[in-house]
Each structure stands twice: as C-alpha cells, then as structure tokens.
Amino acid sequence: MEKLNIYKVEEKDIDTLFDLINGLALYEKRPQDMTGTKEELSYWLFERNIATSFIAEQNGETIGYALYYPIFGSFSAKGKVHLEDIFIKEEYRGKGFGKQFLSEVIKDVLANGYTGMEWSCLDWNTPSIAFYDKIGATRETGREYFEFTKSDLDRLSSL
C-alpha cells in the first residue's frame, strides 16, 4: 500500500477542507446540516484555534480529512480529544487508508500529551462501525447524549 501524504490544515487549505466537510455531510445524508461558511470555519480553526485538522492525500489527490478538539475529564484530571470527523472519500475506502490516516492523527494526539480519544458514529453507518470494531475501539455504554442548539442556549440563559 502506498503511504499517504498527511498534513496539518493551514488557512490556505480552507477551500479543500470545506469541500471535504461537504462530502461528509452528503455521505451522512445530512447536506441540510451543512450551514457553516468557509469564513466561520476559518475563524474557529485559525483565529480561535478551537480544533486541529489534517488532510490526507494519495498520489496528489485529496482523499480525506480528520478534525479533533480537546476535552477534559474532571474525574481523571486528564486531557483527551474528541474526534469530530474522520472521513475518507468512498472510492478510497477498503484500501487501508483509513487505518493509516487514523494512526497518523493518533500520533499527533499523543505528541500533544493527550491521554485518550472519543468519538461518535451514526448508528446506521455500519461500514464505519465495522472498521472501529475491527481496529479494537471500545464502545461506550451507559450514557445518553444530549445537545442544545443556539436557540436553546438563548432561551435557557435567561432562566
């Protein structure tokens, strides 16, 4: 298998990253949820430094991206990361690129002193679930995940 070229996203890569994120939204059957702009993405990634992102290339072709951000466990007093996205274009799947890409992202996570990684996966995404099972990921149980939208935050901030 050919080695991927993996690099950390810089401001000049925002168009490519944005296109890849759109690709994930389409794959997840959620294009309507792709409401962010390139400018907003750039602001949060490069002005606020909220997350770290990588792009993977194979033979000069962009094939995927990953994005993670720090989280903190109060009980363990340890820093981990939340892997928000890891995406390989469909035509490049099943060739070992996902495993290679994830390994490189993990090397960066470890180099930055983090002690773990968590992520979620849509319950219908059986290919990804099978991949995570195959590489030995542990499924977390005993939790339900919740969210607040911006309008929820606005409403609840005046309780």
What CATH number did the domain enclosing 88 receive?
A: 3.40.630.30
Q: How many CB atoms lie within 10 A of CB 98?
A: 23
In this prediction the pTM is 0.93
CA distance 147 to 155: 14
Q: How many CB atoms lie within 10 A of CB 9?
A: 21
Q: Which two tokens stand for residue 143?
A: 């939790």
The boundaries of the domain holding residue 71 are 5-156
Domain count, the chain: 1
Nearest by Cα to 58 from 100, 20, 8, 2: 2
Long-range own/partner contacts, residues 10-17 (CB < 8 A, 24 or more apart)? 10/46, 11/42, 11/46, 13/55, 14/38, 14/41, 14/42, 14/45, 16/55, 16/62, 17/41, 17/53, 17/55, 17/65
Residue 143: the pLDDT is: 86
pLDDT in single tens digits along all 159 residues of the chain: 689 999 999 999 999 999 999 999 999 999 999 999 999 999 999 999 999 999 999 999 999 999 999 999 999 999 999 999 999 999 999 999 999 999 999 999 999 999 999 999 999 999 999 999 999 999 999 988 899 999 999 999 998
